[in-house]
Amino acid sequence: MAMEVKMMGRETKIVVAVDESEESMYALSWCLNNFSSKNDQNTNTTLILLYVKPPPSAYSSLDAAGYLFSTDAIGAMEKYAKELVHSVMERAEAVYQHSGVKMNVEKKVGTGDAKDVICHTVEKLRADTLVMGSHGYGFFKRTLLGSVSDHCAKNVNCPVVIVKHPKQNRV
Amino acid sequence: MAMEVKMMGRETKIVVAVDESEESMYALSWCLNNFSSKNDQNTNTTLILLYVKPPPSAYSSLDAAGYLFSTDAIGAMEKYAKELVHSVMERAEAVYQHSGVKMNVEKKVGTGDAKDVICHTVEKLRADTLVMGSHGYGFFKRTLLGSVSDHCAKNVNCPVVIVKHPKQNRV
């Protein structure tokens, strides 16, 4: 009986990787609308909103990719990246509030290569599910990253939900 | 108001690609346990169990892969493949019954390259979600197929849930 009570109270952790794309907000919305409310009665569900900032060194590595930026431009990009964190988390919070779903919500901001940080966070938290958009990862995706969702689907141990934005379908 | 009623009655289609692996049964179970019962009240959810048989020509192509089989062996494999369909669908039905979740259940059996058949079926049915295991696709996976889940995640338009069997984690 004690065991049953313990099982009932088990915490379920859902990590949603968010970025400034419409797609990641859609993935969050999909998660809130489709994950079981049955579970909510039995378990303590925590939604972890994870945003990954590129490391400062990423900006200078853009030079190597053929982009030549002045120091001012790099400083401006760093500032922009910091502002994005706030903006993305605010949007994510609004999507959550709008859904009417009740979960514990935590916000985490990581720094580094998105695919590594996401996989590492999922593993560290022993997350039950990872939800993310299908396309790159934000502003820097085209220059720096391959497919983050591909990498995460291969490397994390929990179920991975890859969500495509309907507007981006059939492109 | 009429529109609201229509929206409330919208059919949600979840395709679960099943095969003889433990992993695909776990994916089905995960789907039944984690998909929203909130949606069940608002929509008419249909669970489509999809099994894909390899085409008969697949057996003879095994020869080209360096496996030399007699005609008898090929006949035996065809028989085995037919029996698998029945066995897999029975297991899937049992997983569904055991879950206690109430959905409409449809069973579909396709023939061909699993990744193409799964993507085609999802598109044709205009499915809302595809759920599948992360690893190959059944008995023939090692000789004939690359990663089916990779291909499907890239090619279907709806959200894709890739589920790993816990026992296969950290391998």
* pLDDT value for B137: 56
Strand ordering across the sheet containing B11-17: A104-111, A44-53, A11-17, A129-133, A160-163, B160-163, B129-133, B11-17, B44-53, B104-111
Best residue of B157, B163, B165 to probe chain A, by most A CBs closer than 10 Å: B157
* pLDDT value for A97: 93
CA B127, chain centre distance (Å): 13
Contact B157 A150 (CB under 8 A): no
Q: Which of A58-72, A96-110, A129-143, B72-86 has the lowest mean pLDDT?
A: A58-72
Percent of chain B residues past pLDDT 90, beyond the cut? 39
Does residue A64 sit within a domain? no
Using DSSP, state whether B113 is helix, strand or coil.
Answer: coil
Best residue of B35, B147, B161, B165 to probe chain A, by most A CBs closer than 10 Å: B161
Does residue A3 sit within a domain? no
* pLDDT value for A116: 93
Closest approach of chain B CAs to the CA of A101, in angstroms? 10
- Cβ proximity of B40 and B7 under 8 Å: no
pLDDT in tens, A125-145: 999 999 998 875 555 554 444
Rounded CA-CA distance A16/A18 in Å is 6
Partnered with residue A45 across adjacent β-strands are A12
Does residue B67 sit within a domain? no
Does residue B15 sit within a domain? yes
Rounded CA-CA distance A52/A85 in Å is 8
DSSP secondary structure string for all residues of A85-127: HHHHHHHHHHHHHHHT---EEEEEEEES-HHHHHHHHHHHHT-
Burial degree of B51 (CB within 10 A; 0-12, 13-18, 19+): buried
Q: Name every chain B residue with its beta carbon within 8 A of the beta carbon of A154.
A: 134, 150
Q: Name every chain B residue with its beta carbon within 8 A of the beta carbon of A169.
A: 157
Domain count of chain A? 1
Residue B138 structure tokens: 């059944």
Q: Would you say residue B39 has pLDDT above 50?
A: no
Q: CA Rg, chain A, in Å?
A: 17
State which residues form the domain around A51: 10-35+43-55+87-161
Does residue B78 sit within a domain? no
Option in B34, B161, B162 nearest A36 (CB): B34
Best residue of B32, B33, B36 to probe chain A, by most A CBs closer than 10 Å: B36
Does residue A137 sit within a domain? yes
CATH value at residue A29: 3.40.50.620
DSSP secondary structure string for all residues of A54-95: PPTHHHHHHHHTT----HHHHHHHHHHHHHHHHHHHHHHHHH
Q: Name every chain A residue with its beta carbon within 8 A of the beta carbon of B161.
A: 159-162
Q: Name every chain A residue with its beta carbon within 8 A of the beta carbon of B103.
A: none
Residue B144 structure tokens: 């004939």
Does residue B2 sit within a domain? no
Rounded CA-CA distance B35/A39 in Å is 9
Residues 100-129 of A with CB under 8 A from B: 129
Does residue A131 sit within a domain? yes
Q: Name every chain B residue with its beta carbon within 8 A of the beta carbon of A37.
A: 36-38
Residues 35-94 of A with CB under 8 A from B: 35-39
* pLDDT value for A68: 63
Reported as half-sphere exposure (CB side, CA atoms, 13 A), residue B146 has a value of: 4
pLDDT in tens, B80-105: 778 889 999 999 999 999 998 888 99
**Among B40, B45, B17, CA closest to B116:** B17
